[in-house]
Amino acid sequence: MTLALYVPGTGVVHRLPAAAKLLALAVLAVALFALPSLAAAGAALAGVVAVGLLLARLPVAVLTRQARAVVWWLVALLAVHALTTDLRTGAHVALRLLTLVLAAAVVTATTRVSEMVRVVEAVCAPLRLVGVRPARVGLAVAMALRFIPVLVERADRIRAAQAARGGSPRGVRALRTTVAPLLVQVLQMAHDVSEALDARGADDDPSPRRRAQEAP
Amino acid sequence: MKTRDLAYVALFAAIIAVLGTLPAIPVGPVPITAQTLGVMLAGAVLGGRRGSLAVLLFLVLVAVGLPLLAGGRGGLGPFAGPTAGYLLSWPVAAFVIGRLTERTWDRYNVLVGTLVNVVGGIVVIYAVGVPVLKAVVGLPWGEAFWTGAALFVPGDLFKAFVAAAVADVVRRSYPVIERPRRAAGTR
């Protein structure tokens, strides 16, 4: 799973502010649920694909990769609806899901993570009143995004190591021999990352009140 | 909040996201996913405050449009759909599990942990999720309960056990929750 989906570019979509793109995504999501018609969902899908390929000039692979990730989900939705309600509803629900996934892919492919983080920080600014520091929220978001591919890689490494020793344990035993050690390992990693950040001045807190509290 | 706590919060937000890549089983409007396992783990390993913040951070990442929910869903859509109640109940669930885990820290084992996870991860989530599902989809109570809760009980019981077993190992090898102050002198 790769979240580093950013594709460099200089088109209109790339230059739009991240806040505008996120807002558009939110509006599209609400609109898709508010307009329960197959035609509207189809038009939205066509629109999203047009924006992604023609306006943002993204490679087709960016969109197909996202579509492939949900293809079984779409098939399952169709099947469940064909059995319980009708195929038309199934097609609508599936089309809506595909549209949203592709729209999200277009936004993530044309927006740097750092820009996304800045939007979250801006949205969190009012929370300053209740003691939340927006920069810390931004730091947490950035760390979470970085940890996702790291976790996948660590899990793969443990699996490979076990395969090399002749097969991997299954069932409840796997919890003790695989899952728990992996968790301990990544907890240690998170701790190391935080110490490295503090050493580089991440713990700088401008408020003098807190300084005084934390003084020995 | 210390940078270390921030890193733990970010780590568990990432763990919930990765659990979303495991295949989900669509059974009606609400799918069975491994992500509630992540919610339980966040509470059981990090405690109430950090655990609920981790889940909240994950939901923020979903809301800004990253396709991190099981089945590649993301954006604000899921917060308006039939599963909205479940998503919004997650931080509460992690908080309840975390607080109960902190309370039972000195006698924590797989059994106690499973019970704690059942209370926070099943009772709380259904109590919020089922009424919202009923309101959004317009099902009668009976059907809302069947498609929104009863179907998930076996899977959720299993997840509660798995989360407790893992949390118990982590508790003994790399405890993140601090020992309660009153017990500090006993060792």
pLDDT tens-digit profile of A175-189? Answer: 777 788 889 999 999
Contact status of A143 with chain B (Cβ, < 8 Å): yes
What pLDDT, on the 0 to 100 scale, is given for residue A194?
Answer: 93
What pLDDT, on the 0 to 100 scale, is given for residue B113?
Answer: 95
What pLDDT, on the 0 to 100 scale, is given for residue B186?
Answer: 46
**In this structure, is residue B145 part of a structural domain?**
yes
> Judged by CB atoms within 8 Å, which residues 34-93 of A form the interface with B?
66, 69-70, 72-73, 76-77, 80, 84
Query: Chain A contacts of B45, Cβ < 8 Å?
Result: 183, 187
**pLDDT at residue A22 above 90?**
no
- Confidence band of B91 (pLDDT split at 50, 70, 90): very high
Of B46, B43, B38, B40, nearest to B62 (Cα)?
A: B38
Task: For A9, list phi and psi in degrees, rounded to 5.
Answer: -170, 170
Task: For B25, list phi and psi in degrees, rounded to 5.
Answer: -105, 110
**pLDDT at residue B170 above 60?**
yes
What pLDDT, on the 0 to 100 scale, is given for residue A95?
Answer: 86
- A1, A149 Cβ separation under 8 angstroms: yes
Residues 6+ apart with CB under 8 A from B170: A180, A183, A184, A187, B45, B176
**pLDDT at residue B112 above 90?**
yes
Query: Chain B contacts of A143, Cβ < 8 Å?
Result: 6-7, 10-11, 14
Contact status of A203 with chain B (Cβ, < 8 Å): yes
Point out the least confidently predicted range of B109-118, B131-140, B161-170: B131-140
**In this structure, is residue B12 part of a structural domain?**
yes
What pLDDT, on the 0 to 100 scale, is given for residue A69?
Answer: 63
Compute CA A59 distance to the chain's CA centroid, rounded to the nearest angstrom.
20
| CA pair distance A133, A155, nearest whole angstrom | 33
Provide the 3-class DSSP secondary structure of residue B30.
Answer: strand
Point out the least confidently predicted range of A48-62, A98-112, B120-134: A98-112
**pLDDT at residue B139 above 70?**
no
**pLDDT at residue A1 above 50?**
no
What pLDDT, on the 0 to 100 scale, is given for residue A2?
Answer: 45
Residues 6+ apart with CB under 8 A from B124: B89, B92, B93, B96
DSSP letter for B33, please: -
**pLDDT at residue A58 above 50?**
yes
Compute how many other C-beta atoms are within 10 angstroms of the C-beta atom of residue A34: 9
**pLDDT at residue A149 above 80?**
yes
The domain tally of chain B equals 1
Q: In terms of residue numbers, what domain contains B153?
A: 3-178
State the nearest Cα–Cα gap between A117 and chain B, in angstroms.
10
Strand partners, B25: B32
Compute CA A104 distance to the chain's CA centroid, rounded to the nearest angstrom.
9
Task: Break chain A into its structural domains and give their ranges.
Answer: 12-111, 133-199
Contact status of A188 with chain B (Cβ, < 8 Å): yes
Nearest chain B residue to A153, by CA: B18
- A207, B13 Cβ separation under 8 angstroms: no
**In this structure, is residue B186 part of a structural domain?**
no
What pLDDT, on the 0 to 100 scale, is given for residue B84?
Answer: 81
**pLDDT at residue B49 above 90?**
yes
Contact B23 A72 (CB under 8 A): yes
What pLDDT, on the 0 to 100 scale, is given for residue B185?
Answer: 46
State the nearest Cα–Cα gap between B178 and chain A, in angstroms.
15
Compute CA A171 distance to the chain's CA centroid, rounded to the nearest angstrom.
30
Domain CATH number, residue B79: 1.10.1760.20
Point out the least confidently predicted range of A20-29, A70-79, B58-67: A70-79
Contact A140 B64 (CB under 8 A): no
| ipTM associated with this complex | 0.86
Contact status of A32 with chain B (Cβ, < 8 Å): yes
Average pLDDT over residues B123-143: 80
**In this structure, is residue B185 part of a structural domain?**
no
Average pLDDT over residues A74-83: 76
**pLDDT at residue A174 above 90?**
no
Contact status of A127 with chain B (Cβ, < 8 Å): no
**pLDDT at residue B138 above 80?**
no
Contact status of A183 with chain B (Cβ, < 8 Å): yes
Provide the 3-class DSSP secondary structure of residue A15.
Answer: helix
What pLDDT, on the 0 to 100 scale, is given for residue A41?
Answer: 87
pLDDT tens-digit profile of A116-142? Answer: 778 888 888 888 888 888 888 889 998
The two three-digit tokens of residue A147, written as one number: 């940890």
**pLDDT at residue B184 above 50?**
no
What pLDDT, on the 0 to 100 scale, is given for residue B181?
Answer: 56
Contact B11 A144 (CB under 8 A): yes
**pLDDT at residue A70 above 80?**
no
Nearest 5°: CA angle at A32, between A31 and A34?
Answer: 60
Contact B6 A72 (CB under 8 A): no
Average pLDDT over residues B158-172: 92
- B39, B90 Cβ separation under 8 angstroms: yes
CB–CB contacts below 8 A, A to B: 164
Mean pLDDT, chain A, integer = 80
Site of tokens 């919004």: B88
Of A69, A64, A42, A37, nearest to A53 (Cα)?
A: A64
Point out the least confidently predicted range of A29-33, A206-210, B105-109: A206-210
Contact status of A94 with chain B (Cβ, < 8 Å): no
| CA pair distance B139, B158, nearest whole angstrom | 27
